[in-house]
Structure 1
């Protein structure tokens, strides 16, 4: 009985100490949890801030990239009046080479011939100042073609709005052109009176002009 009384106060003190220790540990654990939560929140905030900066940087690059690509892929400028496959020394449609007589800027009036035509006749109307046309060259011309006997027009490059180019002296055109234009100076306007045998003959089948013909030809370029 006396032993239990002596031990009672000690037991109460131990309990109080244990309770105080437990409370202290709980408070310390609570502080640690709060500290950890605060640190985690700070990390999340930093990560969010960094992520926002990176997104903005990437967005800025994306905005600039299409413009850069468009500039890189833009084709080089080409002159509007000079097709890529047209020789640079040939006149553009509606233009005359430098030094050409202004008379060649207008379509000529071509009349009928007189009498019988028995041979090829080349009559200079405007003498050019350029080099003479050579067989095998490609020449650029404007022309008007009429029937020799009545002067009725059957063809003209002027109606198409631009000159026509073709090889000369190599059998690509009628004989009257091959024979009559070789040796003509560039920049000239000549009249070609061509008998039927050096033109399309006397047979009008197939829609070709038959009989003797008269052409007025402007030689604009040769190369």
Structure 2
């Protein structure tokens, strides 16, 4: 057998081995690309899930976590909020009350029943839906009222979602009641509140529409 034939066979074996090696490398690269793609897709899926959870949580928020007086200084309206008035409630609850300024100073929370309701009494942890008018105690200037927006205001008692004067003043209030809350500054927004909130003592007249 000539050296030429031997060399040709060797060349073929080397070429075949090189081809197999190249094919194996291509397969390995393809596998790595598939693994990397799978990792990227998994990461995108996790991001999508996190975004969906955040959007769902934000979408589930409502006004119950907001402080009372979120729109101080809004213009008054004589029209009652649509719906929400108990069928057996005093007809006066269908009309926005006129709230006068107070006299003297307010050093502690004072709750004055104006209309006695006959429904269940509110307890901590329950949600009460109310209409309200809020004025500054010293001059009777209205700074907020649910009547202006045409929508009653829900609040969970004891959750800290409203000022302390509400959290404590509405406990025990019966459905269908109208209450006057005289609240000292220490149980409201303080003497130097954040911008947009009224300072000093406040007076609210609150209609309790439902207790749940």
Q: Smaller-chain TM-score range? A: 0.5 to 0.7
What is residue 15 of structure 1 aligned with on the other side? none
User: What residue ranges of structure 1 are gaps of 5+ in the alignment?
Assistant: 1-91
What is residue 100 of structure 2 aligned with on the other side? 111
Q: CA deviation at 1:222?
A: 1.2
- The CA distance in 2 between the partners of 1:134 and 1:93, in whole Å, is 26
Instruction: State yes or no: 1:144 paired with 2:133.
Output: yes
Picking from 194, 200, 204, the partner of 1:211 is 200
Q: CA deviation at 1:205?
A: 3.5
The structure that is helix-richer by fraction is 1
Q: CA deviation at 1:152?
A: 0.2
Greater displacement, 92-101 / 151-160: 92-101
What is residue 121 of structure 2 aligned with on the other side? 132
What is residue 86 of structure 2 aligned with on the other side? 97
CA RMSD of aligned residues (A): 1.2
Residues 195, 220 of structure 1: CA spacing in aligned structure 2 closer, same or farther, 3 A cutoff? same
Q: CA deviation at 1:170?
A: 2.1
What's the TM-score, normalizing by structure 2? Answer: 0.60
Give a deviation string over 1:159-190, Cα, whole Å, max 9, x none: 00121112112211100001100001110000
- The CA distance in 2 between the partners of 1:208 and 1:197, in whole Å, is 14
- The CA distance in 1 between the partners of 2:84 and 2:139, in whole Å, is 31
What is residue 87 of structure 1 aligned with on the other side? none
Instruction: State yes or no: 1:220 paired with 2:181.
Output: no
What secondary structure, in the 3-state scheme, does the structure 1 residue paired with 2:195 have? helix
Q: CA deviation at 1:95?
A: 4.6
What secondary structure, in the 3-state scheme, does the structure 2 residue paired with 1:206 have? coil
Runs (4+) of structure 1 exceeding 6 A deviation are none
Q: CA deviation at 1:204?
A: 3.7
Give a deviation string over 1:141-161, Cα, whole Å, max 9, x none: 000000000000000000001
Report the number of matched residues. Answer: 132
- The CA distance in 1 between the partners of 2:82 and 2:128, in whole Å, is 14
Choose between structure 1 and 2 for higher RCO, CA contacts under 8 A separated by at least 6 residues. Answer: 2
Q: CA deviation at 1:93?
A: 2.4
- The CA distance in 2 between the partners of 1:109 and 1:102, in whole Å, is 15
Structure number with greater Rg is 1
What is residue 175 of structure 1 aligned with on the other side? 164
What's the TM-score, normalizing by structure 1? Answer: 0.58
User: What residue ranges of structure 2 are gaps of 5+ in the alignment?
Assistant: 1-80
